[in-house]
Structure 1
């Protein structure tokens, strides 16, 4: 009886200690501003989340518990609270509406709901977030007009609402956006005139409103913008408008695309725009001759087809004058006279790859050569529909030709050199690694150039790889362009793979969580400033988003302050104290009754994780499945260890990767890798079934 009294006295003492610890934690651990917590709950309630991506929004504090897509400032602000800095919910299959409560996230800098199925209108309350810099709503089903309130955001850098169903006119209030550099509003239903007030925008760099319902006249004042680099207004209806001569006053213009805009009048003189890379005035009603003034020597693309142009093909389009030219299209006009062969002569010496010259369906009567060999092999010339096609020597150039879309390479096949079974899925051999047969887990990124300044990517591929890896602070060999494809726009879509650095000492085969988060932050903060010819980029997908988001709690992107970390440490201590008290109570109480000695020869991992649809196997189950890892069941071997074919008790055939002693990771790292593999989904990859982490073994179990 005396012993029981001592037990409960001790227990009460431990509970008191726990209460004191909790008070200390509350005093030192700042939490998210209560108004913002309520706003996040309202935002979630207005969304439909069929995949449960926001299920952790009901657990703990938004900032200290790292809610999915919620990123906070590192430290509390003057009010003593943590605040949401970024809300990024990328490609999560969300539907529903955007809540007006978004306006209560008063310190927000980045608001992103890209590539979901969200409908309804854009809440005007977003216009009250004075700190907002990036508004990223592209790739949804948003409708209704643009709120006037958006025009009063003093720090706005980028408005990206393309690929929605936004209607109504452009608000005149947008003329107040003095810091805005990027208007990406293409592929919507925006109507009316371009407000001349927008000519007051001093910082505007990209103005993309192609594929809308704009009409009226192009305001001449708009084309005096000093910093404008890309103007893309294709497929609108500026009926009867002439192209203003003020274009010559846009010194930084890189790309001008006014395809199918019902433009009339002559082609103006572009010789004063020394930076021009890409000119598309096709499918209009332009008349007169092609100007003989020289274009920029760096121009890659001139598209003047489907107009009403007359006169001769000028010699200023020759490769000696335009050495970077990739595509010249002046088809479907009324051009006459001779075709100057200087357009393609000496092209083989230019080093810029393929040149496509489209001269079809004009009135061209002569060309000053008679042999097909006069055209270099890297030049394609189309002459169909011209009188000169009566010459049988030109039959080769007068037939229908398939346009070169330069859909590039397929993935490099390395299995002919490296043993396939030694790199089991989802691992892959890095095609660009300086180390032969380096087997690692790649990071998949969907990337798109929204308005590139070229027609053929291949000559610029290496330059792109150097540029992107330098911006991401990665080695060149870590990037592999799996494929690229021209899409409507034209836009250039890419599938990129990033591989971790080979580290023989630590036997590294995966990115750590902080590195994944760092790369994700650079992409989603739009910190990659593309060189001129690549134009603005579009972030499509990131296959490992959210993986290991708690791995490095002290990283800037994690949103945890030092005070928060102290609170977490104290919280851990408090939990440990509580558990110690409970365990002590149980042990002493059992001692009062009857002492039981429990032992277990083989204990499972001290670190545990719970992953849906991933089983924690015992070592005995693995031994049975492989006949005690008999050599006859081995099907592969690599630097990390061996792969065995196993049969589970239910008859399932599996592949079991067994890490060798020298390549064993720490327990936390192994379980983190297992969690990572469980989240990786790809139609060409086998899936993880389970793992085993006992008896000093590290085993991964996958579909065979």
Structure 2
């Protein structure tokens, strides 16, 4: 009995020690284990460890022992969302989207997650009412409950969410009116910060509240289509001139379309189809960005097709079916520069249709069935690619269902003379000759295929034999390379087994990060040196010769402000680069407060100078010159002395003598840092790195990411800058408090001016990186600072305070209209990629 008591005591003691040593907060551990017991198909990693943060559970992100993010989109989860979720009180992002097996009502305990800023439950099977407790999530900026089975009314408590940016309740079974505030009850009209209203595909009724629209709002998407809304379109809708998409189709709206709809100068999609709208057809002349318009199936007053449609230079699709249009069609309609589709079937368009001489070459579809057109003419100088389309239009017009009165008609399609190319008739062949030619061709093809298969098999045997005898023979195809080792300067070859051992078999505990290329691990070499190992994943590996050229190049790049290449591994189907290990992580981590390092203004000046020197070396002293192409704060690392080192040359582009000036190349980079001129022209220059570096300089001032909640840092600084404000030029609200609280920050005026020169829209107006280096050195020299000391030197003796320094305000000339891609982590039905790579 005594032995049993001792064993029991030891078990309890072991459990207590294990709990104390756990890296995860016990409350969070208990909540996640409870959810694991309720849900089916949780990731396998949830069964391999008892500590979600120590050996990370897939989809779980931790910070300082607390779970801050739960991202389990498209995992095939099944079960319910229980009240245990409310115990994860430090959760900032919750994404369970597109797990059809998650069902039932969602827990009221969600309202306890006071830190939550992203809630995505899209594409599941949740039902019941949307809880009122969601109104307690005052930090929420992104709420997506679309594509579920929610019923009942939209809770007015959502009106409390003053920071909400995106509200998506589409594709549910919600009923009742759109709530607005009263004297005692808050409503959705308090959502003045929201930019996206997605209420489409529900059963909402009542009228569209005019209070939802005011000049204070910055709405981008208004999606109310597919409901049971009635009444007229509020005239206040014209006050929100930021709208880009307006869908009110498939409702029961009546009355006239407000004339001030013409104020929506940024709109690119307008859909009012399938309602009961009446009155005159609205004049949309000023909507120069409009590319899609559908006004079908309404009761507009009979009128001719207005010629002002042809003034919409961006228009690609015009749909006005089942209406009362009459009169001739203006020929200008078919010469709009971007027009692709014109659908006007089931109207009363009559007389002759003259499509003119300058038909848009992109025109794909003209649907005029069930009208009263008697004749179609097409000019002789039209694009020959329209031949088949003209024939199709002729067939459609000649087979109309419209039957004219006996004394008028029938109507026929009569084509003017067309300049179709003459068809060429070849010599006729007998059936026997044709069969003989076909048989011979088939035999020849089969022989060629057999020879090709034999050659491939022989080549694989030869490559296997060479691989055994010469380990470097696979650098390039046979005949193009001698099979010798690459010529390196200061870097060496590592075996796969050595790097595998140094990273503990590439364990997750040694993982430093990951990107499109692959994962980066912390490793220890045989001599005890700590390195960072960048391991390519299967889909991103280069060819052997390209990889050899890259490491030969990187081994020649040596500068104290560039991360150095230690060596490489090219063995057993692996491609790995071994870099020096930088102890203090990235500049982005430090500015965001995720490290214990605080950067005062003096240290930030030195970091800017060091980074600029590294980039200037790449542009002017490397042979051949190198354009980095992905300059950003996450690619600027800080060593133990806080010396800045530029890293990650995965997107870098070499500039040969024949390409000096610019390089025409596919657009690559990170949104927010991407040079707009490079994006528009695909002409890459060293000035593209200058623009990205200017954005990093703005981060040093504000500590904000380039894009936060729809706001672009360049635009915000230009908007708020004020040269009359002597100390901080009107940037008090944007500046990092550490900088703002610094008395007389050294050279701040000149630093801000230099920054805004770097982010000029035109590359010709930006300085070179060497000019940026000289300007930063001048700032430091003029204030008595040592430009060669490390960034950790920040004493008052080292940094003098400038007296009487000229302070000039940078001019503001550009705006930014891109949507926010970094304000939240979303893995569901919307693609918010940060890499820009057009095909």
Matched residues in 1 for 2:245 and 2:368: separation? Answer: 27
CA deviation vs aligned residue, 1:312-351 (integer Å, no higher than 9, x gap): 2111110xx2111111111110111111111222x4xx3x
Question: Which residue, out of 108, 128, 147, partners 2:91?
Answer: 108
* 2:122 and 2:829 in contact (8 A); partners too: no
2:710 and 2:819 in contact (8 A); partners too = no
Change (3 A) 1:273 1:173: same
Specify whether residues 338 and 210 from structure 1 end up closer, same or farther in structure 2 by C-alpha distance, changes over 3 A only: same
Question: What does the per-residue CA deviation read over 1:472-510, in whole Å, with 9 as the maximum and x for residues that have no partner?
Answer: 9979xxxxxxxxxxxxxxxxxxxxx98467643355977
TM-aligned CA deviation for residue 366 of structure 1 = 2.8
1:230 counterpart residue number: 221
Do 2:139 and 2:163's aligned partners in 1 also have CA atoms closer than 8 Å? yes
Cα distance in 2 for residues equivalent to 1:316 and 1:392: 22
- Aligned partner (choices 138, 153, 168) of residue 137 of structure 2: 153
Of 49, 53, 63 in structure 2, the residue corresponding to residue 59 of structure 1 is: 49
- What is the CA-CA distance between 1:244 and the residue it aligns to? 0.9
1:288 Cα deviation after fit: 2.1
Of 276, 291, 297, the match for 1:285 = 276
Q: CA 1:264 to 1:31, structure 2 compared with 1: closer, same or farther past 3 Å?
A: same
2 CA distance for matches of 1:538 and 1:243?
33
Residue 172 of structure 2 is aligned to residue 180 of structure 1: no
- The equivalent position to 1:356 in structure 2, one of 318, 330, 341, is 341
Partner of 1:123: 107
1:548-567 deviations in whole A, cap 9, x for unaligned?
Answer: xxxxxxxxxxxxxxxxxxxx
Alignment map for 1:26-65 (pairs within 5 Å): 31-49=23-41, 53-54=43-44, 56-57=46-47, 59-65=49-55
Gap regions ≥5 residues in structure 2: 1-13, 181-186, 379-389, 398-451, 461-474, 478-513, 518-537, 552-567, 579-584, 587-633, 636-669, 672-704, 712-815, 831-839
Map residues 502-651 of structure 1 onto 2, 5 A cutoff.
503-504=547-548, 505=551, 506=568, 539-540=827-828
Distance in structure 1 (CA, Å) of the matches to 2:574 and 2:304:
61
Q: In structure 2, what is the Cα distance between the partners aligned to 1:498 and 1:274?
A: 43
Note if contact 2:22-2:51 (Cα within 8 Å) is conserved in structure 1.
no
Query: How far is the alpha carbon of 1:101 from its aligned partner?
Result: 0.6
Corresponding residue SS for 1:264 = strand
Cα deviation code 1:399-435 (max 9, x no counterpart): 569xxxxxxxxxxxxxx9xx99999xxxxxxxxxxx9
Task: Tell me the CA shift for residue 39 of structure 1.
Answer: 0.6
| 1:418-457 paired onto structure 2 within 5 Å | none
Q: Counterparts in 2 of 1:62-211, with a 5 A limit? A: 62-73=52-63, 76=64, 82-116=65-99, 117-196=101-180, 197-211=187-201
Residue 386 of structure 1: aligned partner: 371
Q: What is the rounded CA distance, in whole Å, between the counterparts of 2:391 and 2:291 in structure 1?
A: 28
Per the TM alignment, residue 43 of structure 1 is displaced from its structure 2 partner at its CA by: 0.9
TM-score w.r.t. the length of structure 1 is: 0.53
The secondary structure found in structure 1 opposite 2:341 is: strand
Question: Aligned partners of 2:120, 2:576: CA distance in 1, in Å?
Answer: 27
Q: Does 1:257 align with 2:253?
A: no
Question: Aligned partners of 1:382 and 1:272: how far apart in 2?
Answer: 30
Separation in 2 of the partners of 1:95 and 1:189? 22
Tell me the CA shift for residue 60 of structure 1. 2.7
In the alignment, is the contact (CA less than 8 A) between 1:500 and 1:511 conserved in 2?
no
Aligned-partner Cα distance in 1 for 2:79–2:366: 51
- Give the CA deviation at 1:528: 9.9
Deviations 1:159-209 (A, max 9, x none): 111111111111000000000110111111111111112111121010111
Distance 1:203 1:335, change over 3 A: same
Alpha carbons 2:346, 2:368 under 8 Å: kept: yes
Name the structure 1 match of 2:718: none
Q: How many angstroms does 1:285 deviate by?
A: 1.3
In the alignment, structure 1 residue 317 sits paired with structure 2 residue 301: no
CA deviation vs aligned residue, 1:383-413 (integer Å, no higher than 9, x gap): 1111015669887436569xxxxxxxxxxxx
Q: Check conservation: 1:226, 1:251, Cα contact below 8 A.
A: no
The corresponding residue for 2:436 is: none
Alignment deviations for residues 97-142 of structure 1 (CA, whole Å, 9 cap, x no partner): 0111100000000111111120011111011111001111111110
| Gap runs ≥5 in structure 1 | 1-21, 77-81, 402-415, 424-434, 438-471, 476-496, 543-704
**Preserved contact between residue 103 and residue 125 of structure 1 (Cα < 8 Å):** yes
Render the CA deviation track for 1:238-278: whole Å, top value 9, x for unaligned.
13x11111111002111101110111112222221121111
Corresponding residue SS for 2:366: strand
Question: Relative to structure 1, is the Cα distance of residues 159 and 510 closer, same or farther in structure 2, using a 3 angstrom cutoff?
Answer: farther
Residues 104, 57 of structure 1: alpha-carbon distance in 2 compared, 3 angstrom cutoff: farther
Does the C-alpha gap of structure 1 residues 86 and 396 become closer, same or farther in structure 2, counting only changes over 3 Å? same
Are the aligned partners of 2:295 and 2:320 in contact in 1 as well (CA < 8 Å)?
yes
Query: Could you tell me whether the CA contact under 8 Å between 2:273 and 2:296 is conserved in 1?
Result: yes
User: Which residue, out of 307, 310, 333, partners 2:323?
Assistant: 333
Q: What is the aligned partner in structure 2 of residue 268 from structure 1?
A: 258
Q: Using the alignment, how far apart are the partners of 1:106 and 1:336 within structure 2?
A: 64
Give yes or no for contact 2:141–2:166 (8 Å, CA) kept in 1.
yes
Partners of 2:72 and 2:130 lie apart in 1 by: 21
Match of 1:397 in 2: 393
Cα distance in 2 for residues equivalent to 1:246 and 1:160: 26
What TM-score do you get using the length of structure 2 for normalisation?
0.45
Distance 1:388 1:420, change over 3 A: farther
Larger RCO, structures 1/2 (Cα 8 Å, 6+ apart): 1
Query: Partners in 2 of 1:370 and 1:193 — Cα distance?
Result: 47
Contact map agreement 1:91 1:541 (CA 8 A) in 2: no
Distance change >3 Å, CA 512–CA 85, structure 1 → 2: farther
CA offsets 1:355-408 (integer angstroms, 9 cap, x no match): 21111110011345277x66334213221111015669887436569xxxxxxx
Which structure 1 residue ranges, 4+ long, deviate > 3 Å from structure 2?
25-30, 373-377, 389-396, 398-401, 419-423, 472-475, 497-504, 506-515, 525-542
1:306 to 280, 297, 304: 297
Name the structure 2 match of 1:627: none
Match of 2:717 in 1: none
Distance 2:541 2:205 in 1: 50
Please name the residue that 1:574 is paired with. none
Q: Is the 8 A contact 2:352 2:374 kept in 1?
A: no
